[in-house]
Amino acid sequence: MVSFIDIHRHHTQVIKVTGSLDISTRDELQQVINKLREGSPSHVILNLSQLDFIDSSGVGIIMEFIYLSQQLDFHLEIDGVNEQIDQWFRIMGVYKVLNSIRREDR
């Protein structure tokens, strides 16, 4: 499940993902993306502390957020990733893509 939990001052938005992230979460993602487009935040925190499982489609959703950060020009932070998912992200190169896009935007 993907949902907004809070909107802070200074144009920071927090998106919390709970349970599983897979193909069934796509519709929820679209709603979140629409909200991001409307809100034009400068900083987005993707909180994954309550994410239990992610499959390759779920990683695809994370990648969409990363590319969106470039498109909408906001700083994306991925936070609270558990040890196993963190290891998967490292193996797949998710953080490398995120860092590369941040460098390009500087």
> In this complex, which beta carbon is closest to other proteins, that of residue 33 or of residue 75?
33
- The CA radius of gyration of the chain, in Å to the nearest whole number, is 13
Interface with other proteins (CB under 8 A) = 23, 53, 55-57, 59-60, 63-64, 67, 88, 90-94, 96-97, 100
Angstrom distance (rounded) from CA 52 to CA 20: 6
> In this complex, which beta carbon is closest to other proteins, that of residue 5 or of residue 23?
23
> In this complex, which beta carbon is closest to other proteins, that of residue 35 or of residue 97?
97
- Least separation in angstroms between residue 106's CB and other proteins is 16
- Least separation in angstroms between residue 24's CB and other proteins is 12
Residue that has been written with the tokens 């995120």 in this structure: 98
**Cross-strand pairs, 103:** none
- Least separation in angstroms between residue 52's CB and other proteins is 10
CA atoms within 13 A on the CB side of 65: 32
Residues 75, 37, 40, CA angle at the centre, nearest 5°? 50
